[in-house]
Structure 1
Amino acid sequence: MTLKQLSKTFAAAALSAGIGMTHADGIAALQKFNTDTDGISGQFSQTVHSKKKTQTTSGQFSILRPGLFKWEYTRPYKQTIVGDGKTIWLYDQDLKQVTKRAQNQTIGDSPAAILSNKSALNASYTLKNDGASSGVDYVRATPKRNNAGYRYIRIGFRGNTLATMQLQDSFGNNTNIQFSGVNTRPNLSRGQFHFTPPKGVDVLGQ
């Protein structure tokens, strides 16, 4: 091999190494998101596949860390879920009914915990990179507890932007959530996560 050929070989190797080093890392994107993000808002489309049916819903969401979140379903029905740090309120407009539950007993190791509390990710899950598809890098988060309710949560990032969550629960149901219009610097206040049941609705405690 001549000196010129050797130089080309080293250059190609260096270029290849550089490409490998700059390739996106799902865990790195997830950890950066978890460390840097204090608030997040956007839209979502959620599809749940069970053994008997498939249902798709959509709406918007907002989260203020730690512990505050709001999911507003607008299609095909209207339903609001609010976590105010102490209580989770579920308001079904069609049924004119509100259900309230203690937040610390309800969200557990759920996706809501990952998104709304920075400490939940590393405390409750084992993480591993899980491939890439269509520009999205995936992380598989496996609950450390056997009774967490989820077999795994697969989180996808496009660059450093949250793109999708894919969940499989302990019953084998699969949920796919696609995020859009994600804003990690929203102007949110704690007051936006205060919920007062509308007049005339039934309030059920669990």
Structure 2
Amino acid sequence: MNKLLITLFICYSSYAQANTFSQFFNAFETLSANFAQQTISESSALLNHSSGYLLFKRPQQFIWQIEKPNQQTLLLNNKQLWLVDTELEQASRKDVSTIKNTPLYWLINRPSHLKNLPTYSHTENGIDWYPSHQANKLNFGFVDKKLRAITLINPLNQTIVVQFNAVVLNADIAENAFKLNLPKDFDIIQ
């Protein structure tokens, strides 16, 4: 009897862990969070540290706002993707297809519409890790079924670590939050 209970508990735990990714990404229409991002070299040296916030609204509205050290914005408003650098006073329009190998791809698309979903691999330091099957080694980290971290390898073989806090699912986000408002003196690159 005890062996049966232990087996059932292990099966349930594995099932719950396996479904955390899908449950989380299917659970919201909007999301807001603060983040801290680090870029780490192959030799484990800290190359860059930034912080800011993100806003997301389905189906395809997203802001990744870096506040420190320099203001930069990645803005997706339906089919338009913009990278805005306040210090350089420029905005670049990007092809939306460039997001396929980024965490943004997983936000925009519901797990039920995707193939090869990240699956639970292990728990480390209290974080349940779900690696994707992409070349950039994109991993999603969950604590108590809430997204807490993302890691990936960039084209320079550097590790990007993003840690989230103050995550709010189904947050009230103003309609105009995703509107691109640029000063007239900004250079536009398309």
- The reply to whether TM is greater than 0.5 is yes
The reply on whether 1:122 has 2:110 as its aligned counterpart is no
Distance apart, 1:20 and its partner CA = 2.1
Residue in 2 aligned with 1:165?
150
| Partners of 2:31 and 2:57 within 8 A in 1 | yes
- The TM-score, its normalising length taken from structure 2, stands at 0.87
What is the TM-score normalised by the length of structure 1? 0.81
Aligned pairs for 1:14-53 within 5 A: 14-17=4-7, 19-23=9-13, 25-51=16-42
1:110 pairs with 102, 109, 120, which one? 102
| Residue of structure 2 aligned with 1:196, choices 181, 185, 188 | 181
Q: 1:87 to 1:178 in 2, by over 3 A?
A: same
Q: Against the structure 1 CA distance between its residues 80 and 170, is the aligned structure 2 distance closer, same or farther, given a 3 Å change threshold?
A: closer
**Equivalent residue number for residue 151 of structure 1:** 136
Tell me the C-alpha RMSD between the 2 structures: 2.2
- Segments of 5+ residues of structure 1 without an aligned counterpart are 1-9, 144-149
Helix, strand or coil at the partner of 1:107: helix
**Aligned pair count?**
187
Of structures 1 and 2, the larger Rg is shown by: 1
Opposite residue 119 of structure 2, the aligned amino acid is K
Which one-letter code corresponds to 2:87 in the other structure?
A: D
Given candidates 80, 86, 96, the residue that maps to 1:87 is: 80
Structure 2: where are the runs of 5+ without partners? none
Rounded Cα–Cα distance in structure 1 between residues aligned with 2:88 and 2:118: 39
Q: What corresponds to 1:76 in structure 2?
A: 69
Which among 71, 93, 98 is matched to residue 91 of structure 2? 98
SS in 2 for 1:108: helix
Residues 130-178 of structure 1 deviation map (CA, whole Å, 9 limit, x = unaligned): 10123221111112xxxxxx43211111122111111123442211110
Give the structure 1 partner of residue 3 of structure 2.
13
Tell me how far apart the structure 2 counterparts of residues 34 and 200 of structure 1 sit (CA, whole Å). 39
Cα distance in structure 1, aligned partners of 2:113 and 2:149: 16
Deviations, residues 19-41 of structure 1 (Å, cap 9, x unaligned):
42453644311011122221111
Question: Whole-Å Cα distance in 1 between the matches of residues 156 and 110 of structure 2?
Answer: 27
- Write the letter of the residue equivalent to 2:177: Q
Residue equivalent to 1:3: none
